[in-house]
Amino acid sequence: MKRLVAIAVLILAASGITAQEPFNAAGRGAQGPNGVVATAKPEASQVGIDILKKGGNAVDAAIAAAFAMGVLEPDTNGIGGGGFMILRLATMKEAVVIDFREVAPTASKPDMFKLDERGRILNHAGTDGGLSVGVPGDVAGLLHALDAFGSKRLTRAQILQPAIHMATQGISVTANLDKNIKDSLEKINAFPACAELFLQEGLPYEIGEKIKNPDLARTLAIIASKGAEGFYKGEIAVKIAAEVKKQGGILTVQDLASYAIKVRKPVRGTYRGYTILSVPPASSGGTHLIELLNVMETYDLKALGRNSPATAHRWSEAMKLVFADRAKYMADTDFATVPLSGLVSKAYARELAARISPKESMTAPLPGNPAQYESGSTTHLSVMDKEGNMVSITKSIGLLFGSGVLVPGTGILLNDHMSDFVPKPGSVNSIEPGKRPLSSISPSLLLDPKGKSFMTIGSPGATRIFTTVAQVISNILDFGMPLQEAIAAPRLAQPHTGNLSLETRLPAATQKALGTLGHKLTLRGDWDPYFGGVQAVLYDAKTQQLIGGADPRRDGQAIAF
């Protein structure tokens, strides 16, 4: 019966019929005076809280939770992938960005993928198999943050032990994981090691059953003992390179041994007097988050009204213009010149806003050459502690189940982030050896008008990431919404070209008016994961409480103490 109900809900969502609010959506939030951890899994949030209770700081908690998430949500992230984080300790004058994005192997070439007549990669080679695998950065990035910014009160083994325990004991299959496995059966079945882990006698596990990954537990134990070298050199590296080669890829042990994180300065902007700190390229997310908010700041959104036709229209038009800039300019700044200061300037935002007509939607083609794919299967976590230390981490293995390549004997599922490049020469985001593919990941921090810690926020959701984060920030700063309500509120998403997507909870009058203005609409089910999965923590100066919120579009839960 439960399976029939679940199928019915999915059918309703696909049809555009408004679904009921997810059970306990409002209860996804939490508050407390000492610390809050918000992740896409309640078990990972509890891991972070336990670390805080043992005397760890927000960085310790975030890294423990991040390793745990790689076990709990194996379809979206893990040590075979990469990501970005931004952190700010209360004692630091400046926030720090750690770029642990994957890089293209040394043997990569701009034309390494075979394309069809439409310029699309043939035979899923960009998203499945060895050729889609970039050099993973997850382990290097997480351990660098722990070593450089952790409290030093806990050992690396203590930080990784919860993830090791979970991989050994097994993780419960939730409705989300169940759906993702079923949606990815073709990819999973194409790779025997992947099928052996995620299927049971060739069939998906039932909801509530456990998937155990003892090989991953052993790999994590090696990392706990040897650090990053235990992953990037030696037995594990040899196994990774061998399996990638077997599956048609080009990643080598030398590529793994030479991987290096990038420590960068954040991009910086303001919105309604609050400072926004986010990640620079190779993620486009932080830059365009600020650009989008700059455009929206030119309007009195409170006067226009939340979810009104006027407000929704302006969001949509601004997103079109920002995505055009993203496609035209954005790439890894080690390989391309990107006009970052211009893109985040208030003056440029006013120029963009002047192009937006209040009476009709833009229909003329916008310039740009967007990538063929963008990874939609990602996870985010946010942590803040009583000292005001803030951490925001977004990490991914690419599309659901990454490349499908699971390295035998290690439990490591590898990414498919080579698909985030433009698969032909001539683009700023074309493939080059050692280059980081473009991303929309947008882990961000906000400071209040006095420069004090206010909020840590981020989301999965491919190119919808920074548009989702921007809408939640606006809900809080323009409309004064409580954090959990701001996260659960209905969203919209307008890509570079194509239809405007709406959750069906947006008022019918708004939907009708948008059609009159010339928007072509795609209606999606309420709380659709297409619109991301925000996890955030903010400090409420009035109550002196840390408040966490988690997205009902995923399995998220904020936990506090």
Find the DSSP H helices in 97-189. 138-149, 156-169, 175-183, 185-189
All structural domains of the chain with their residue ranges? 28-170+212-305+374-488+522-561
Q: What is the pTM of this model?
A: 0.94
| Cα–Cα distance list, 280 to 146, 246, 312, 547 (Å) | 21, 35, 27, 27
pLDDT of residue 43: 97
Separation CA 366–CA 466 (nearest Å): 19
pLDDT of residue 376: 55
* 380, β-bridge pairs: 394
Task: Compute the half-sphere exposure of residue 511: CA atoms within 13 Å on the CB side of its CA.
Answer: 15
Helix (H, G, I), strand (E, B) or coil at 243: helix
pLDDT of residue 11: 31
Token couple for 371: 């990538």
One DSSP character per residue, 306-327 reads: TT-HHHHHHHHHHHHHHHHHHH
pLDDT of residue 66: 98
Contact between 267 and 344 under an 8 Å Cβ cutoff? The reply is yes
| Residues annotated as part of the active site | 378
Cis-peptide into 282, omega within 30 deg: yes
Separation CA 447–CA 82 (nearest Å): 26
pLDDT of residue 26: 73
pLDDT of residue 377: 73
Helix (H, G, I), strand (E, B) or coil at 1: coil
Find the DSSP H helices in 363-442. none
The angle formed by the CA atoms of residues 148, 229 and 416, to the nearest 5 degrees, is 95
Kindly report, residue by residue over 54-78, the tens digit of the pLDDT.
999 999 999 999 999 999 999 999 9
User: What are residue 367's phi and psi, to 5 degrees?
Assistant: -70, 160
Burial environment of residue 61 by CB neighbours within 10 A (0 to 12, 13 to 18, 19 or more): buried
Q: Which residues of the chain have pLDDT under 50?
A: 1-20, 365, 368-373
pLDDT of residue 364: 56
pLDDT of residue 366: 57
H/E element holding 82?
A: strand 82-88
Separation CA 185–CA 145 (nearest Å): 35
The CATH number of 28-170+212-305+374-488+522-561, from 3.60.20.40, 2.60.40.420, 3.40.830.10, 3.40.50.620, is 3.60.20.40
One DSSP character per residue, 434-501 reads: TPPPPB----EEEE-TTS-EEEEEE---GGGHHHHHHHHHHHHHTT---HHHHHHS--EE--SSSPEE
Burial environment of residue 265 by CB neighbours within 10 A (0 to 12, 13 to 18, 19 or more): exposed
